[in-house]
Chain A
Amino acid sequence: MREDRELSREEIDAFGAELDALRERTLADLGEADARYIRRVRAVVRACCWSGRLLLLAGWFPPTWLLGTLLLGLGKIIENMELGHNVMHGQYDWMNDPELAGRTYEWDIAGPSDFWRHTHNHIHHTYTNVLGMDDDIGYGVVRLFPEQRWKPFYRWQPLWVTLQALLFQYAVAIQHLRLDKVFKGRISREEVRPLLRQFNAKVGRQWVKDYLVFPLLALALGCNALAVLTGNIVANLIRNLWTFTVIFCGHFTEKAAVFAPSTLEHETRGHWYLRQLKGSSNLQGSRLLHFMTGNLSHQIEHHLYPDVPARRYAAMAREVREIAARYGQTYNTGTMSGQFATVLQRIWRYRLPQAV
């Protein structure tokens, strides 16, 4: 478990001020290189997706089918994480480039980006790991902390989690509809209807694009439509599994903390920073890993600075770690396999009511 020193009010303020200073320093340094970087990322996404789709047209021939599927999956992963997620956080708003504006970017995934901007940018990032407020804690189907009230269906949660991982893009998309509250009658059907329309439109577009247009295109070109369809399904699946793993490693590892809603009362900027630090966990690894996770491997830095371009997190992490150490705060980090193992343990352990 975590070992954090209790901080006095003054210490918390000083802690916040140090983190603020780091933020200002980094923001002041943004420029050409960051702009070039994100455009390159976008070029890589295009190259992966387009070449993947092209290769899939070659049919079932294993080398091209496998490579095509992998490239398409890779393109989607990078688009969702390093490009879409980060752009939608407004990390590149300082560029004033309408193509990279956080509030209009639409990503290549089932969930409408408007939904995401609300559930993720607002709810999750403001109320990180606050029980009852941050719906990202288990996304309503998983019990990960003893503080969550047990319900009978948690008994089967390893199964739910598996399903969720396979269908992760829909799990994320559906979150904003608050279906649980609709069923309980706390939100009227009228209220969800416009959201539902938006949801259907986006999911419909994604399905038509991946599962209809490209297979039909293959058919029209005299290629194997089934190979294209399967390639698209598998690519989406790969993306789902990968993003699920990365995201569950972000907040549900062994040393991640949850908070009671009362922590929000009179929360200062310093407190908020502290909560972000305690609630998030990092992954150690190569630069490739950081890139493939959209730098969410630096989850702590991402939560402290959600609107700072993610390519800066690696450099910021060194300072954050040093600051955390000085204030006696655990800096939760580990290898991906190690961190993920503790997540799986949580899923397994807290399926039972008496587990503490």
Chain B
Amino acid sequence: MPLIPLRLTIPLRPWLAPLRWLTAHHWLRAADVDACLRFLQPAWALTRIHARVEARRWVAEDMLAIRLRPNCNWPGAQAGQHVQLFIERDGVRLSRSYSLTAQADGCIEIAVRRQPEGRVSAWLCEHLSIGDCVELGAPYGELRWPQEGAVLLAAAGSGITPLLGLLRDALGRGFSAPVRLLHFVREQGQRAFVEELQQLQARYPNLAVEWAVTAGAAGQRLNAEQLHAWREAHVLSCGPAGFVEQLRELVDGQAASLQVESFTPPQWRAEGERRPVRLQFFRSQREAVGDNQVSLLEQAEAAGLKPEHGCRQGICTQCTCQLLEGAVRDLRSGEISHEPGQSIRICVSAPLGDVRVDL
């Protein structure tokens, strides 16, 4: 039994302001303070967002919905946003991004689709249990529900999750214009949140939900006919890049508005021949075209940045920075890193594909 209930951290938050000031000015170490807070309540922290698992249930054959109660540092989120979720495996902190499917009563719900090779999703689906704590990032994401007019939601695979979050929120607020949700899944069993959606449909006559199974001979594909009557609606779409692109082509220029979000599993090819890659330097807000053979340090310098560095040979760690997206190869050992948020030494790391680094 924790000494302090998680809910109580919210009213207590202002009282910790002096401690936050002291850690921000280096008089105290946040890690030490957090250790004490954690002793009182496992999900408590000075500024970091931790959350306790309150419930878990399967909403499709391969999708798990997890209800989380975040601590006092959760800033609140808009429907349709995503959060980064952190867990530790074999001593390494890993993170993945998941969409919020619901929010109520100080809790949030995310849905995790088990990826066959996924280190994080497989662990979450199999091992995360009620009462465990996980860390979250701040919510992010730009999808917004339209003010008025008919709305078409087109999702593929786990792209359903942010759209469901938006849908629940909008209907709950009394949105009354027609809404149609189209969910493409590979197999029948992958239809997610079927019960909830059917209940919503029964309750809100303006909602129509359709599923399309794409596998097999009778598989349905996204086509112009399906969209015909809805071309002039507000369109929101989420799914793999290919799907989203296709949808964009079908409705472009006609839809009242179009918002898309796509996710594509990271793709890169090992070493091989010289190839151009896109480099995004997050902190300095710059972009450049580079290649996959030269160290990121040299390429950043070529792009006019002046990253901190020392030895330029991987010894001193002064050039360490965070890899935000993409994969890099260690030029000394050939080892590949692709964890978002991982520390890399840019003097000995070459990009393997498009990358975003915190420079």
A interface residues (Cβ-Cβ under 8 A, vs B): 20, 23-24, 27, 30-36, 42, 46, 89-90, 93-97, 99, 101-103, 106, 117-118, 121-123, 125-126, 205, 209, 269, 272, 306-307
Contacts and interface: CB of A to CB of B under 8 A. Distances in A.
The secondary-structure label for the interface of chain B is: loop
Nearest to B34: A99
Contacts of A42: 31
B311 A103 contact: no
B240 to A, nearest CB: 27
B31 A121 contact: no
Contacts of B88: 35, 95, 97
A102 B320 contact: yes
Interface stretch (B146-154, B224-232, B337-345): B337-345
Interface in B305-351: 310-311, 313-318, 320, 332-333, 335, 339, 341-343, 345
User: How many of chain B's residues touch chain A, expressed as a range?
Assistant: 20 to 34
B29 interface: yes
B288 to A, nearest CB: 23
A31 B90 contact: yes
What 10 pairs between A and B have smallest CB-CB spacing? A35-B91, A122-B310, A122-B316, A90-B317, A96-B93, A93-B343, A99-B31, A126-B311, A31-B90, A121-B316
Interface in B283-301: none
Nearest to B94: A96
A126 B318 CA distance: 12
B197 to A, nearest CB: 37
B93 A97 contact: yes
Given A31-B90, A32-B91, A96 B342 contact: yes
Given A35-B91, A36-B91, A205-B27, A126 B315 contact: yes
B339 A106 contact: no
Nearest to B337: A94
B27 A209 contact: yes
Nearest to A202: B26
Contact of A95 (B30, B93, B313, B332): B93
Nearest to B28: A209
Given A31-B90, A35-B91, A205-B26, A121 B35 contact: no
A34 B310 contact: no
A123 B332 CA distance: 21
A101 B91 contact: no
Contact of A30 (B27, B91, B320, B342): B91
Contacts of A269: 313
A46 B311 contact: no
B236 to A, nearest CB: 33
Interface in B25-77: 26-27, 29-32, 34-35
Contacts of A89: 317
Interface string B204-223: 00000000000000000000
A216 to B, nearest CB: 14
Contacts of A125: 311, 315-316
Contacts of B90: 31-32, 35
B92 interface: yes
Nearest to B93: A96
14 contacts: A33-B91, A42-B31, A46-B35, A90-B320, A90-B343, A94-B91, A96-B92, A102-B320, A103-B317, A118-B318, A121-B317, A125-B315, A126-B310, A205-B26
Looking at B35, B91, B343, the one whose CB has the most chain A CB atoms below 10 A away is B91
A51 B177 CA distance: 66
Given A31-B90, A96-B343, A103 B332 contact: no
Given A31-B91, A93-B343, A97-B93, A126 B316 contact: yes
A111 to B, nearest CB: 14
A102 B32 CA distance: 17
A20 B27 contact: no
Contact of B343 (A23, A103, A121, A205): A103
B239 to A, nearest CB: 29
